């Protein structure tokens, strides 16, 4: 128990800021990051697999990604049940381009939640956290070439999902205009 506590405290000291930043980027809700970070460390504390992890940071990083996407799924489900629980758009006098970019990022993150866990993790590590294929491969115990191929395949899947979604919405818009 003491060994796990030391391991978690060391992880918090060395990587807490990076994990905090990752959760912020994936949830896009700075007000939730503290709660999610706390949940992350509770999960690590209760995890026997964390004790056996060769790379505690890699284990915590993947757990944080899973936690953020779980949170996103719950938020989306709550919004579908009751629009009152949906976060209101922030009153930000930013340009239209920034609004469009933020909406597109939300669509990409929602689509990424439909990828396999490994593909989603690789996409997050490479495109959001800007980690190299070599770094990702080291953390996941895979060859960089495999990570590069997996990332390319995941991006192709994301493009396909987003294109289908775009066709769906533009089809609904056109049919609504005709009636």
Structural domains of the chain, ranges and CATH numbers in brackets? 1-84 (1.10.1740), 93-179 (1.10.10.10)
Q: Which tokens in the block code for residue 15?
A: 């990587």
User: What span, in angstroms and rounded, lies between the C-alpha atoms of 10 and 37?
Assistant: 15
pTM of the model: 0.63
Q: Which tokens in the block code for residue 29?
A: 């809700």
- Band (31; pLDDT cuts 50, 70, 90): confident
pLDDT, position 74 = 86
pLDDT, position 29 = 85
Asked whether residue 175 carries a pLDDT value surpassing 50, the answer given is no
Asked whether residue 95 carries a pLDDT value surpassing 70, the answer given is no
User: What span, in angstroms and rounded, lies between the C-alpha atoms of 115 and 121?
Assistant: 9
Per-residue pLDDT, averaged over 82-101, amounts to: 58
Taking CB atoms within 8 Å and a gap of at least 24, the contacts of 25-33 are 25/128, 25/129, 26/65, 26/68, 26/69, 26/72, 26/109, 26/124, 26/128, 27/68, 27/71, 27/72, 28/102, 28/105, 28/106, 28/109, 29/87, 32/71
């Amino acid at each position: 128990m003491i060994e796990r506590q030391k391991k978690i405290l060391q992880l918090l000291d060395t990587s807490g800021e990076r994990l905090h930043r990752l959760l912020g980027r994936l949830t896009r809700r700075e007000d939730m990051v503290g709660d999610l970070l706390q949940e992350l460390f509770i999960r690590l504390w209760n995890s026997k697999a964390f004790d056996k992890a060769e790379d505690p940071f890699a284990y915590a990083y993947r757990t944080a990604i899973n936690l953020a996407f779980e949170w996103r799924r719950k938020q989306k489900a709550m919004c579908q049940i009751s629009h009152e629980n949906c976060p209101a758009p922030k009153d930000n006098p930013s340009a239209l381009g920034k609004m469009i970019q933020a909406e597109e990022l939300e669509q990409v993150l929602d689509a990424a939640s439909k990828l396999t866990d490994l593909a989603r993790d690789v996409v997050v590590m490479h495109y959001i956290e800007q980690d190299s294929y070599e770094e990702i491969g080291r953390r996941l115990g895979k060859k960089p070439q495999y990570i590069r191929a997996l990332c390319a395949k995941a991006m192709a899947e994301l493009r396909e999902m987003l294109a289908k979604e775009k066709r769906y919405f533009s089809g609904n818009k056109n049919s609504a205009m005709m009636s």
